[in-house]
Structure 1
Amino acid sequence: MPHRRILSLWFPRLGVERLIRAQPHLAGLPLAMVSDEGQAQLVSSLSPEASALGLHLRQPLRDAYAMCGDLITRPEQPRHKEAFLGVLHRWAGRYSPWVSTAPPDGLIIDLTGCAHLFGGEEVLAEQVAQDCLDLGLSVQMGIADTLGAAWALARFTAQNGAASHRSGDAIDQEARATRSRAGKRRHWTRGGAAPSVPTGPALQNRIAPIGKAWQMLSPLPIAALRIDPQLVDQLNRLGLRRIGDLIGQPRAGLARRFGRGLVDKLDQAMGSAPEPVSPAKPPDRFSVRLSFPDPIGLEGDVAAGLERLVEQLCARLKAKGRGARVLRIEAHRCDGLMEWQTVSAAVASFDPLRLIPLLRLKLPGIDAGPGIDMLRLEAIGHDALHDRRMAGHKVAAQRGQQRKDQGAALEDLLGRLGARIGMEAITRRHPASSHIPEKSAQVLAAAWSDPAPDWPEPPTPRPLLLWPPEAVSAEDHPTPPSAFRWRGRDFGTLDISGPERITPEWWLDDPAWRSGPRDYWRIDTDQGDRLWLFYAHGGTMSSGWFCQGSFA
């Protein structure tokens, strides 16, 4: 059985280099990424130009500006950085199928049984370094028998092979990479300095011989064991500054005084305790494509090709228990251009008969040009689905199937409407837990909500139309007026019904309800209108009559 070998990759400038890849004009400039920690803004990533000016990580932003007035800053984007690390995770799969992320800026690769395919560990490490240089990324790496040892070599070993540390209690600081100028410049740099990668003798010092990781770990600082900084300070005050100082110490005494965590990390780095590499499960991707011997251009031919693709895609979705919610159609033309359309369904499904009509609605938006030689269909949004089986007597089963069919018809209607006007334009109303008339209902997207249950019965009938309160010219008295003027028209009162008193929500300061409690009346007028009027008793605002709705 081959010896276990672990490769640890550390990208010390992942934040700024990800941004430079997206915005090449920032290359060669002093650039820093800033993160918010409490009430302070700290530097989280630096470009080589910014580091050359004396800036360092976790430095307050005001101090960084004082040292470099031309410093360019951008806010840290953890989600974008995490997504980019996921892209690097897929890239690292070319070297081994056993890859895991080490957030926020590292990768762990199990090279057991894989290094000989590339000509050995040194050749593989040089290939990894060259690939990172082509990607515009600075990288430091370490290869050892254990995950802990490889992690420590990647982060705490200097490029020249000497242990990188500072005097005093600052020994836990990670090593700064010495930047070598690459001879060839990449297109992404636009004149900026190329990222540094370990090569030659510096790379050999990052590879621990089989079974001798302790020799390279001994001169490294204790912080390389991945323990808390507070524990590092305690050990430093006792004179224990390097891993070699701990190797010869009794395990029982270390565990009793500093906790079991220190002993576990030390044993994992030395190989005495297991620490497996758990690869992240690759995300489910559902896409199919169809190539044609001759280009096609008729809408019917494209529709026929999509029908074949939908059946294949739905079979894959059903096998995984997933349902497509958002589909992307790609039409690759023979002139090198690509036309695409996106369609959303009201509910996730793997039924081809429900997805094909939605796709047909998007075909007029595809320009075939000189001809289409390949179609590709991808489910860019999909949800988990579970099969349901009706149980019970025959009548209950029939009723349940009828309700299911009615719901499917409504969902198909929403899907067709959404393909034309957009899913966000289709809404439905749900009851809300508020006694305020204008807050008694909430608007939800129809595609992402279920039909509303039975609406609660209000104490008195509510008007069919409801609008913001409008002032009514009438006598300022709680008794309903016999005549009033509203919207430039004069009304006479024929019949009244009420009142219903509604008080404002005392736990919310709503400006529209600062007029105090309201007495609502239903008033039949001589003009044929049945209006919903209320008298505001006055609070921080003056009292008076207002109209807020109209009955059928």
Structure 2
Amino acid sequence: MASPPLALLVSERGTRRLAAVDDRARALGLFAGQKAADALALVPDLATFDHDPAADRAALEALCDWCVRFSPAVAIDGEDGLLLDITGTDHLWGGEGAMLVDLVARLARWGVPARAAIADTAGAAWGLARFGEDLAVVPSGGQRQALADLPVAALRLDEAAEAQLPRLGLHRVGQLYGLPRAQLAKRFGLGFTTRLDQALGAAAEALTFRRPASPWFDRLAFFEPISAPEDMARVAADALALICARLEAEERGAKRFEVVLHRLDGQAFPVRAGLARLGRDAKRLAKLVVPKLDKVDPGFGIEVVTVHAAGVEPLAAVQNGLDSTAGAGLDETLAPLIDRLVNRLGEARVWRADPYESHVPERSVVRAAPLDPPPAAAWDPDRPRPVRLFKRPEAITALAKVPDDPPVFFTWRGRSHRVRRAEGPERIAQEWWRAGVAEGETGPGKVRDYYRVEDEAGGRYWIFRQGLFGGEDAPKWWIHGLFG
């Protein structure tokens, strides 16, 4: 039994209207914007459901991610379309025509009917896909002729221009070619001539891709789907070898790699690997990617694997010595270990402490990538800082002979310490050039006098007295770090 015609409903100012209709409902005279009561009177067996724009958008975004197997540059077009930049990728399918047929056939297989076109410009492809043949491939430079017989609505015009042009007898795009451009711009606005130029290739058009467009993309497709763990590991290594070979040929390296396994049902499983330094060693990358494949559910099989490289920069070849180690510094030796730690623990958990030019102790250290170049700034050797600086100073009780002297005795975490030696004070006040002062840092009226002290057991501490005697608040003692 054939399924009934279908329509989606939306409420507008208390009235239920049709938001969208399928082909069967359209053939029976129903249209978007029609009152639901009128539609049901014409077609009693009309099946209706509430329109859910958020779900439609989520489905379109999922479809956009699925299309990455055809091109790394995919943009969402309105509420029902996608634009793919297939420059440099169509040869993987044996040409533009074969690629277009494969794309539409895969969509139809999963219940997504689509019309598609390939042209030099996004505007021409948009118009041909919606108003031309079901599948259209325009030869390079042929968009002018291909668009000539299409209605003016194929130019993506605004509603006013699209409604006014037919009243003037201008029904086809080709009728606009010979008209004076200045008069068209004056009558319909610059947006009209811009759309015409974009479709014909006389004006550039910027597209917002869901993922940043990158030429560093490659793809592997299989005659039969794969699902065995060893097969997935092998094809992931093969895909990395492809992109690394391209990087080596152009003397470049990358810091981030992504291998995406595309399942038969359209689900995509990205597996990412990052490097501490620029690299293009496929074997080393495979060791980082393969352990993460155990989280990939192959389902009924993986049919396509794509690989992307990001953070690509020039990378010159390095000449090793006869023992294969000469010329390799400490950083090169540590790089594989750091890569494994970063990919296992996360980039935010593997870092190096670097000095930062600031008088405030809490701001004198910043986190940096483990193998980043060392900063030019350094701590003043005459003002040493503790090996371990606490995230927040801890309160202590201390006893000093006179108010400005270092303490002779202090208690920290319930344990008493008698001071044997002390150096200081080093006075640290606010950084007046900063607009604001964070909580816990030195601020107005929060002058600190720091002392380096050593107790009778040999422990060395960095303690300070906050506040001045005779001020608004009584001075308090704190411990801020340990010297080893």
TM-score w.r.t. the length of structure 1 is 0.49
> Residue 244 in 1 paired to residue 169 in 2?
yes
The residue aligned with 2:422 is 496
**Structure 2 CA distance for partners of 1:75 and 1:348, relative to 1, 3 Å:** farther
Q: Specify which of 509, 523, 546 is matched with residue 478 of structure 2.
A: 546
- Does the C-alpha gap of structure 1 residues 366 and 227 become closer, same or farther in structure 2, counting only changes over 3 Å? closer
How large is the RMSD of aligned CA atoms in angstroms? 6.4
Residue type of the partner of 1:503? A
- Tell me how far 1:517 sits from its aligned partner: 1.7
Match of 1:460 in 2: 383
How far off is 1:141 after superposition? Answer: 7.7
**In 2, distance between residues paired with 1:72 and 1:212?**
36
C-alpha distance in structure 2 between counterparts of 1:327 and 1:109, whole Å: 19
Give the aligned partner of residue 413 of structure 2: 487
Does structure 1 conserve the Cα–Cα contact (< 8 Å) formed by 2:237 and 2:283?
A: no
Identity among equivalent positions (%) equals: 28
Quick check: 2:123–2:155 contact (8 Å CA) kept in 1?
Answer: yes
Please give the secondary structure, in 2, of the residue aligned with 1:512: coil
1:202-221 correspondence runs (5 A): 217=151
Aligned partners of 2:104, 2:292: CA distance in 1, in Å? 46
Q: 1:74 aligns with which of 46, 54, 74?
A: 54
The question of whether the paired residues in 2 share the 8 Å contact of 1:472 and 1:547 is answered with yes
The secondary structure found in structure 1 opposite 2:440 is: helix
Aligned twin of 1:173: none
Q: Residue 408 of structure 1 is aligned with which of 313, 332, 345?
A: 332
SS at match of 2:339: helix
Q: What does residue 512 of structure 1 align with?
A: 440
* Aligned amino acid, residue 502 of structure 1: I
The separation in 2 between residues aligned to 1:304 and 1:214, in whole angstroms, is 50
Q: Counterpart of 1:84?
A: 63
2:456 pairs, out of 498, 521, 526, with 526
Which TM-score applies when normalising by structure 2? 0.55
Amino acid at match of 1:512: G
Q: Find 1:536's aligned residue among 462, 466, 470.
A: 466
Alpha-carbon offset, residue 343 of structure 1: 6.0
Closer, same or farther: CA 375–308 of 1 in aligned 2, 3 Å: farther
User: Deviations 1:99-151 (Å, cap 9, x if unpaired)?
Assistant: 996834344899xxxxxxxxxx9xxx999988766544476789999986875
Q: CA 1:488–1:382 in structure 2 vs 1: closer, same or farther (change >3 Å)?
A: same
- 74 and 511 in structure 1: CA distance in 2 versus 1, 3 angstrom threshold: same
For residue 419 of structure 2, what is the amino acid of its counterpart? T
Residue of structure 1 in register with 2:77 after alignment: 103
Residue by residue, what CA displacement relative to the aligned partner does 1:17-72 show, whole Å, maximum 9, x if unpaired? Answer: xxxxxxxxxx998689xxxxxxxxxxxxx6669x67979xxxxxxxxxxxxxx875
Mapped to 1, the partners of 2:360 and 2:67 lie a distance apart of 53
What 5-or-longer segments of structure 1 have no aligned partner? 1-26, 33-45, 56-69, 93-98, 111-120, 158-196, 199-209, 333-338, 368-373, 392-396
Aligned partners of 1:507, 1:456: CA distance in 2, in Å?
Answer: 24
Contact 2:407 2:419 in 1 (8 A): yes
Paired with 2:101 and 2:373, the residues of 1 have a C-alpha distance of 60
- Partners of 2:360 and 2:113 lie apart in 1 by 60
> Within 5 A, what are the aligned runs for 1:114-133?
none
- Residue 364 of structure 2 is matched in structure 1 by 440
Question: Is the alpha carbon distance of 1:131 and 1:240 closer, same or farther for their aligned partners in structure 2, counting shifts above 3 Å?
Answer: same
Unaligned stretches of 5+ in structure 2?
1-5, 12-18, 23-31, 37-49, 87-96, 135-143, 264-268, 297-301
Shift of 1:437: 0.9
